[in-house]
Amino acid sequence: MHWSWVWITLCLLCPTAVYGGRVLVFPVDGSHWVNMKVIIEALHSRGHQVSVFRTTDSWYIKETSPFYTSITLDIESGFDEDFIGTFVAQLLEIQRGGKSAWTRFKLEMEQGQKASEIHKKTCKMIELLFDTDLIQSLQDAKYDLVLTDPVTPVGAIVAHYLRLPLVFNVRWTSQGEGHFSIAPSPLSYIPLTGTELSDKMSFLERLFNVINFGFWKFQIAYFVEPYYVGVIEKYLGPGVDYSSLFQAGDLWLMRVDFVFEFPRPTMPNVIYMGGFQCKPAKPLPEHLEEFVQSSGEHGVIIMSLGTLIGKLPHDLADGIAAAFAKLPQKVIWRYKGDRPATLGNNTLLVDWMPQSDLLGHPKIKLFVAHGGTNGVQEAIYHGVPILGLPLIFDQPDNLFRIEVRGAGKIINIFNMNEDIFFQGIQEVLNDPSYRMNMERLSRLHRDQPMKPLDTALFWIEFVMRHKGAAHLRTESYRLPWAPVSAVLY
Amino acid sequence: MHWSWVWITLCLLCPTAVYGGRVLVFPVDGSHWVNMKVIIEALHSRGHQVSVFRTTDSWYIKETSPFYTSITLDIESGFDEDFIGTFVAQLLEIQRGGKSAWTRFKLEMEQGQKASEIHKKTCKMIELLFDTDLIQSLQDAKYDLVLTDPVTPVGAIVAHYLRLPLVFNVRWTSQGEGHFSIAPSPLSYIPLTGTELSDKMSFLERLFNVINFGFWKFQIAYFVEPYYVGVIEKYLGPGVDYSSLFQAGDLWLMRVDFVFEFPRPTMPNVIYMGGFQCKPAKPLPEHLEEFVQSSGEHGVIIMSLGTLIGKLPHDLADGIAAAFAKLPQKVIWRYKGDRPATLGNNTLLVDWMPQSDLLGHPKIKLFVAHGGTNGVQEAIYHGVPILGLPLIFDQPDNLFRIEVRGAGKIINIFNMNEDIFFQGIQEVLNDPSYRMNMERLSRLHRDQPMKPLDTALFWIEFVMRHKGAAHLRTESYRLPWAPVSAVLY
């Protein structure tokens, strides 16, 4: 068979033409990279060439990969594993130790200081990028598209300079929850992240929401945007400001959907791909399958607090282990700290676990989780109820979305003890409504015309085919008061 | 092969299960029915049973059909062909005859009077429906879904009473352009229908937009909603008002997309299916194909002013015919009036034409159109530039969306003469940018992950499968000031 027939057959099989686009990716390390990697691998499998930007201290983003070529900038980003892990450890110590509000405030200030250093380092990265011949080599490489995580503005700045179409893989921007940068977000029914409010608010809750919005805008205006004024002016010239860089995005691939997120106004260039990383469960490794099967009719509980929280204070870990030990279920606990003295025979400590494959196993009865978006989406996909122990960032809000739908329960980890934890497990395990509600969410989530990853790929390739998606971008961005009016009422 | 294998194979081939849902349809007659029929036929072909509501004077909606069973209410709706045709004829006479503003005002008042009669008749329809055993028989039939055109509230009222999921096939509601009932619509960049404004407005244009909004809201509040207060109170009880009936819709299948419409805020339960009725062109009937081929290299122009405008004033028809006669192109003109004296040999008058099949024919160079949504979408689909002669309703705005994108040109039919018309044709024919821009719109429109009709069907069946789509409906509807705030800024 002549090769051209193979090519034509391929084209006919694929909804979009298979052609070798060139994609330049600016990822964010840690759990964000887990997401970006899914898209990069899918782009690679569809014949696109992917270049990934990293720094010398990138910890998850490897220099060599079969799926991409890396471009390593000879600088440290300062955004490392330690940054968040240490913060969480200190936060747990302060909150659980009943330390003073002043100690908590000092920690927040220290954290703010570290964030400030990261912004300064990011600016240095941008300067290094533009002042070496790297930017020229990016220009020469004639990319079709910049794909970036908008937690930092680097990708948006490069896309603007190179005049390339810009696609965000987004849940957060450096200005907060992604929607707030792009869609009308009336504060009367759109809860700000961190408030743990739903879309049904009392008057006082709305007031609290508005105050939080003001405080958050103040933080962005004084502690984020000013760092970048200089580099934007220097490399992109006048007429560009920090917000306009983000509003220039052709597409926003949003890592949520409306099974997870409360219904809210959106925009034509927002593509929802929540759960795009989810896949049917693969068979477990033999030793895990054996352990799971040994649980008999009682089933298995799995627990993970995510990639960043390896260790817990000893008393907390002991309480958790002791509560698990009282259960007839088997437990798989991803934990890197010292082995708790109270650990029962029914509990397996692991450094890492195939979380999604376990969640998809019919024996799994409950997921004890910190509430990162990835884990919550996987629990929805597989229909496993959650007992939530949120710590920082969006974790309380993510879990709250599960709780208000009756598909899980939140426990305050800062004043949790063995009894509270045990009661929480009992409640979610024994009240069938939790599982029924999560299974309902799962049915809704899975009932989509296309898989979320395929939808994302379609639209990335759409932007390549048409060299942007200007017809989907609203005129509201030209309006000077739009950010104020978008949250009115 | 056992029949069950056939069934399983069918299920595997279809993205959604083929099962016999029961759909109750409340259509609107005229061009709206053309759209609804497309969906009804598709639902029928997927194994659903469809019942269609009609009145004794329904003119397009036939009593018998292979695709649906009809339910005829023994009453006249008053919404007939004559209603709009007469209005347009009088409007043309007044505007072209240089009659006084007072005459025009009187016509508008007469028209308002007729609209008022239609509302009264609609209320009588609702009363007849509820006071006979018809509503009981609808209840007994155990429908899965009400599908309705929200130009009248009948379908929404019945869905509310029967507690059935509600899907709108919508471009207009009785409260105006569909989006204004459901999504934030800031008047600074969302032009009101009838203003012929784009999303880029000067300060004065915005002011004009706001004034129009006020006037329109006044009309709805005083000349539409009051008619229905009584029947809503009587049959649905307290706690329901006119707006909440529409906001109760589970899905809004919107007959536009963002190739046609300006980008704007939207909502999770709005599904865009603009151009869902478009299909690849079928071969033309032999006599038409011969006529088209006889045009040689010059190609063919087609002209239609839609289903409602059969006749034009003699002088106007003569001017149009004379302009056509001067062209080297062949012309197919859908016209039911007397044969103009100036008609050239190159022009074929027809009562009806296969418009979409003609638009998809490579010989067609130009579409002279009144600017109904259907025709404009078909022109986009087939990439044929438009010379627009808008008359009433949304026609000027529809054509304006084509004009600002450089894919067509509007002529004011009220002061048009032979020369102006001839110049207009020449310009759109000879400046290649019109066709290039329309072809660009066509490429964008056709580049979707799923065909718009398949998307619509998926979501209709989604609502049947899950008995609604409450998770996509926003909380904003509970808020008393939402209609005001939604248009701010």
Question: Distance (Å, rounded) from C-alpha B255 to C-alpha A77?
Answer: 48
Question: Distance (Å, rounded) from C-alpha B92 to C-alpha B99?
Answer: 10
pLDDT, tens digit (0-9, with 9 covering 90-100), for B53-77? 999 988 899 999 999 999 999 988 8
Question: Distance (Å, rounded) from C-alpha A368 to C-alpha B297?
Answer: 73
Side chain identity at A376, as an amino acid letter? V
Interface check for A258 against chain B (CB to CB < 8 A): the answer is yes
Contact A361, A379 (CB under 8 A): no
Question: Distance (Å, rounded) from C-alpha A411 to C-alpha A399?
Answer: 10
Report residues of chain A scoring pLDDT below 70.
1-19, 80-81, 477-489
pLDDT, tens digit (0-9, with 9 covering 90-100), for A222-245? 989 999 999 999 999 988 889 889
User: How deeply is B481 buried, as exposed, middle or buried, from its count of CB atoms within 10 A (0-12, 13-18, 19+)?
Assistant: exposed
* Closest-CA residue to B179 (of B166, B167, B193, B165): B193
**Token pair listed for A22:** 């060139």
pLDDT, tens digit (0-9, with 9 covering 90-100), for B326-382? 999 999 999 999 999 999 999 999 999 999 999 999 999 999 999 999 999 999 999
Contacts of B447 in chain A (CB under 8 A): 462, 465-466
Interface check for A458 against chain B (CB to CB < 8 A): the answer is yes
* Closest-CA residue to B261 (of A182, A268, A467, A184): A268
- pLDDT score of B15: 45
Dihedral over alpha carbons A204, A209, A212, A217 (to 10 degrees): -140
Contact B427, B221 (CB under 8 A): no
Q: What is the mean pLDDT of chain A?
A: 91
User: How deeply is A397 buried, as exposed, middle or buried, from its count of CB atoms within 10 A (0-12, 13-18, 19+)?
Assistant: buried
Given the DSSP bridges, would you call strands A364-369 and B270-272 parallel, antiparallel or unpaired?
Answer: unpaired
- pLDDT score of B1: 44
Contacts of A462 in chain B (CB under 8 A): 447
Q: pLDDT category, B92, cuts 50, 70, 90?
A: confident
- pLDDT score of A239: 85
Task: Please report the number of interchain residue pairs, chain A to chain B, with beta-carbon separation below 8 angstroms.
Answer: 121
Q: Which residue has the tokens 């259509």?
A: B27
pLDDT, tens digit (0-9, with 9 covering 90-100), for B458-468? 999 999 999 99
Q: Which of A217-221, A463-467, B258-262, B265-269 has the lowest mean pLDDT?
A: A217-221
Helix axes B31-45, B452-466, angle to 10 degrees: 70
CB atoms A489 and B466 under 8 Å: no
Host H or E run for residue B129: helix B101-131
Question: Distance (Å, rounded) from C-alpha B104 to C-alpha B95?
Answer: 8
Question: Distance (Å, rounded) from C-alpha A92 to C-alpha A81?
Answer: 17
Question: Distance (Å, rounded) from C-alpha A95 to C-alpha A103?
Answer: 9
Q: pLDDT category, B478, cuts 50, 70, 90?
A: low
Question: Distance (Å, rounded) from C-alpha B71 to C-alpha B23?
Answer: 12
Residue B16 in this model has a pLDDT that exceeds 50: no
Q: Over pLDDT 70: what percentage of chain B?
A: 93
- pLDDT score of A16: 46
CB atoms A449 and B15 under 8 Å: yes
- pLDDT score of B462: 97
CB-CB: which of B259, B263, B268 is closest to A474?
A: B263
CB-CB: which of A200, A462, A476 is closest to B186?
A: A476
Residue B80 in this model has a pLDDT that exceeds 60: yes
CB-CB: which of A200, A258, A458 is closest to B475?
A: A200
Side-chain half-sphere of B85: how many Cα atoms within 13 Å? 15
Q: Do domains B20-276+451-485 and B286-446 have the same CATH topology?
A: yes
Residue ranges in B141-272 assigned as alpha helix (H): 154-162, 203-223, 225-236, 242-247
Q: How many CB atoms are located within 10 Å of the residue B51 CB?
A: 17
Query: ∠A324-A330-A333 over CA atoms, to 5°?
Result: 65
Interface check for A218 against chain B (CB to CB < 8 A): the answer is no
- pLDDT score of A482: 59
Pick the residue with more confidence: B311 or B209? Answer: B209
Interface check for A279 against chain B (CB to CB < 8 A): the answer is no
- pLDDT score of A435: 98
Q: Over pLDDT 90: what percentage of chain B?
A: 72
**All residues at 6 or more sequence positions from A194 whose CB lies less than 8 Å from its CB, including other chains:** A212, A216, A394, A396, A397
Q: What is the mean pLDDT of chain B?
A: 91
- Terminal Cα distance for chain B, rounded: 64
* Candidate CATH numbers 1.20.120.80, 1.10.150.250, 3.40.350.10, 3.40.50.2000; the one for domain B286-446: 3.40.50.2000
Host H or E run for residue A427: helix A418-430
Q: How many CB atoms are located within 10 Å of the residue B233 CB?
A: 12
CB atoms B200 and A485 under 8 Å: no
Q: What is the CATH number of domain B20-276+451-485?
A: 3.40.50.2000
CB-CB: which of A184, A466, A484 is closest to B184?
A: A184
CB atoms A485 and B481 under 8 Å: no
Searching chain B, which residue's CA lies closest to the CA of residue A460?
B449
Q: Which architecture, in CATH terms, is A19-276+451-485?
A: 3-Layer(aba) Sandwich (3.40)
- Average pLDDT (B123-136) is 93
Q: What is the pTM of this model?
A: 0.93
Task: Give B58 to chain A, closest Cα distance, Å.
Answer: 36
- Average pLDDT (B138-162) is 96
- pLDDT score of A114: 85
* Closest-CA residue to B425 (of B311, B303, B341): B303
Task: Give A359 to chain B, closest Cα distance, Å.
Answer: 24
- pLDDT score of B479: 65
Pick the residue with more confidence: A89 or B12? Answer: A89
Interface check for B268 against chain A (CB to CB < 8 A): the answer is yes
Domain ranges of chain B: 20-276+451-485, 286-446
Q: Is B316 helix (H, G, I), strand (E, B) or coil?
A: helix
Q: Which residue has the tokens 């009785």?
A: B174
Interface check for A184 against chain B (CB to CB < 8 A): the answer is yes
Concatenate the DSSP letters of all residues of A122-166 into one string.
HHHHHHHHHHSTHHHHHHHTT-SEEEE-TTSSHHHHHHHHHT--E
- Over the Cα atoms of chain B, what is R_g? 23
- pLDDT score of A11: 46
Contact A404, A307 (CB under 8 A): no
- Average pLDDT (B260-275) is 96
Contacts of A258 in chain B (CB under 8 A): 268, 471-472
CB atoms A263 and B454 under 8 Å: no
